[in-house]
Chains A and B, each alone.
Chain A
């Protein structure tokens, strides 16, 4: 008989077992009666001889081999029944577990989708990103280096380049600014993406002078062509230039953010594309050939880079080319934050487990008599342990199921709340891995909190337990219970201190002066009229016209242009030196370079420390001038007066320093102090060389100081910006306050989550303390009765209970502070600006916890002191 047949026919087998044993007893008894014994005595002896029919049955059932399953079903049914009889207990336990496992599941869902799941491309593990690199910096590629590398490389199946290139679409439909990418012909094939219709660019279209072709996104196709299948082959006017649509990208393609228009990178004829020295933001993706390791590809790239450096020492000296898996690059620094959160959430789950464990233990102790009865009826020790574990598993799995439900509801709001861009956010959803994780996590926690009561269950003397009746004997359980409380306190301390450290960091950072007057300051990107982009002269005129128009706008006090918005994540690093000779590659000093118009200081409120700022006469044809910040003045000139001195700046040549301004914490309030390159340099946009004008124009932002709330000035400014041709658009509108608070987004987000987690932990720990103390005090009722009868006041009884809880709390706090010191160090490494050991934060957080815990223990203490000694004694 197979095991499932035996299980299926369980009832019949039970009947047969009964019948078989009955037959045995009957035969034995009738033999004994035949030999002269009385009937009653004969039956008694027969039963004794066989050793108790029920025990024999148990052993026979064990012999069946399907025992565990039968028992499991039976135990599970029993567990559900008893939980239904105690809805309060079951409700609290389930809620605790659901919160714990729900929070953990949300974190795991995000981690699973962002970090663990492979990218949604075929053979994603072979996708790489490539960078140029020297000792100091990682660069995007220069276009010529990309072309050389692509031609020579053998270990990569294909390479592709792309670069941001948004612009204005003026036909068909209304003019509109859209984001775009300039891509090399192989981009889609490297990623393994099939276009939803049409074709990708041909290699011959990826060259200067080829016929202008464009691929549009699925969204744009829906929006502008109404999803018309005949859109391929139709014209599209982009940045004033007529293109032909050749393909439509699939709906879900995400290339470092959304893009609506793809043009051929090779058709870009700007001078920067032909200059090896310039790195115009070209990202390079590649697919590894089959049977080639990453190591071999990296080695070949190094050889190619050395080759290029020999051929073009001026631009490529000291440069190497590196490759890393695409997934690593995309996920970037989100990794540490996510693991940190999972860690924090696991602590909450652990506290929840400890809470439920102590609930179950208290329940097991009050069920001692039932368990003893089971042993007397033939249950083995292993059987009882199994029963206890089954009960906790039932509890854990239902808690886990509720948790998954909470996670399914909670994961969207969580992702929406993430500061900045969470990579791969669109891929986040629950899948089988999350379910598996939830099941495993619930079972593990079920075993964790079921083990203590289970191991304890059959430990007591049978007889004693049975005789003790309803009252139970406290002893070792008290130690176990208090160690639960200590664990909870310790875990809560860790979370509270972590939240405290984050809060303190946030407070400290927010009070730092960013170097810019952030109130009433508005920034916005501008897309110049496509018609004006044709040549340098028209571009300069268009910018001048734009500034004049915006200056007239009501509510705008002053306005300037800048190609770098302060504290935005953009950068533009450039080498400089105090001597005309170019220093060796590894000694180049770098500075942020911002090109601005004369009213920049007035608009931003950056203070002038010496000399003067740019004026209208600082134009092309006049002497090249720059303004430097305090950090650069300190670094390059130390104590000397920099005004009137010269700096030799990459691309600009020799430039005269005409002023010194205050330092702006461009890299964010948190990180600016720690970075290598802090120096800042400004030069007049009017002196921008013609060859860079197109590049600079595409990066320009308006910086406006307003006399009204900045967002109220937006509409008027937008109207002015449209210009005479009505095709200039304002986009990416942000106030400076938004940008600055964005630099603290990670800290704020973590603080919020840690705040929630630690609040949850505090609550759970207090419930735990309350439960344990209430339980222990109930056990001590007779003792208190005696004490009061002997003259102890109610105050003294209360002190007795509180002292017991204070003892547990203090041990927990000591353990927790030790763990929190370690956790603080981890936090300090992962989150900029956190100081790992701040005594004040530790003290405050520990105090909060101790007060809350004492408050929780006050209720049972008060109840104990209020009882009537006579009725307490009667209970004995």
Chain B
């Protein structure tokens, strides 16, 4: 946990949340933990913005929510992806991939010159 953490790039929080929820219905605390684990503590997920982001996505009908019991018998709000949300995830992931490709291409050019 001593590695320097980067801030999450603008607009990527929504994408990450959608990706995590795409794996199956999950509640807010689990999303926070999953994000923390998956990003191996490198990316700082501001917990304070998690819930506003969830509510925003629910509001735009990318997410739906149900109140269900957890394995410990507690009632929690479980989020799942809607059809619209899945499309949004695919679109955002694709555009993110294009961005990464473009950036690494530029970085590669500067690094090794013409290959």
Contact = CB atoms under 8 A, between A and B. Distances in A.
A51 B52 contact: no
B59 A64 contact: yes
Interface in A801-860: none
B56 interface: yes
Interface stretch (A54-62, A138-146, A185-193, A673-681): A54-62
A580 interface: no
Contacts of B59: 63-65
A552 B74 CA distance: 115
Contacts of A60: 51-52, 55
Contacts, number: 51
Contact of B29 (A16, A19, A24, A62): A24
Interface string B47-70: 111011101100100000001000
A23 interface: yes
Contact of A64 (B46, B51, B55, B76): B55
A52 B29 contact: no
B25 interface: no
A20 B77 contact: yes
A95 to B, nearest CB: 44
A27 B30 CA distance: 9
Highest count of chain B CB atoms <10 Å: which of A28, A60, A65: A60
Interface in B5-51: 27-29, 32, 46-49, 51
A152 to B, nearest CB: 71
Contacts of A59: 48-49, 51-52
Nearest to A57: B51
A450 B96 CA distance: 45
A23 B52 contact: no
A21 B51 contact: yes
Contacts of B56: 63
Contacts of B52: 56, 59-60, 62-63
B76 A23 contact: yes
A52 B55 CA distance: 17
A790 B56 CA distance: 63
A488 B51 CA distance: 50
A416 interface: no
A122 B95 CA distance: 62
A50 interface: yes
A49 B47 contact: yes
A861 B10 CA distance: 58
Given A24-B28, A24-B29, A52 B76 contact: no
Contacts of A56: 48, 51-52
A84 to B, nearest CB: 35
B29 A51 contact: no
B48 A27 contact: no
B66 to A, nearest CB: 11
A850 B46 CA distance: 62
Given A60-B55, A64-B59, A23 B48 contact: no
A50 B55 contact: no
Nearest to A23: B76
Contacts of A20: 28, 51, 76-77
B29 A27 contact: yes
Contacts of A52: 48
B65 to A, nearest CB: 9
B76 to A, nearest CB: 5
Highest count of chain A CB atoms <10 Å: which of B28, B29, B47: B29
Interface string A9-32: 000000010011101101110000
Interface in A54-85: 55-56, 59-60, 62-65
A396 B4 CA distance: 55
B77 to A, nearest CB: 5
A636 to B, nearest CB: 90
Interface in A250-292: none
A49 B45 CA distance: 10
Nearest to B48: A51
A244 B47 CA distance: 96
B77 A23 contact: yes
Contacts of A23: 27-29, 74-77
B39 to A, nearest CB: 16
Contacts of A21: 51
Contacts of A65: 59
Contacts of A55: 48
Nearest to B56: A63
8 A-B pairs with least C-beta separation: A51-B48, A59-B52, A63-B55, A63-B56, A27-B29, A60-B55, A24-B29, A20-B77
27 contacts: A16-B67, A19-B75, A19-B77, A20-B51, A20-B77, A23-B75, A23-B76, A23-B77, A24-B29, A24-B51, A26-B74, A27-B29, A50-B51, A51-B46, A51-B47, A51-B48, A52-B48, A56-B48, A56-B51, A59-B49, A59-B51, A59-B52, A60-B51, A63-B52, A63-B55, A63-B59, A65-B59
Given A60-B55, A65-B59, 14 more contacts: A16-B77, A23-B29, A23-B75, A27-B29, A50-B48, A51-B48, A52-B48, A56-B52, A59-B48, A59-B51, A59-B52, A60-B52, A64-B55, A64-B59
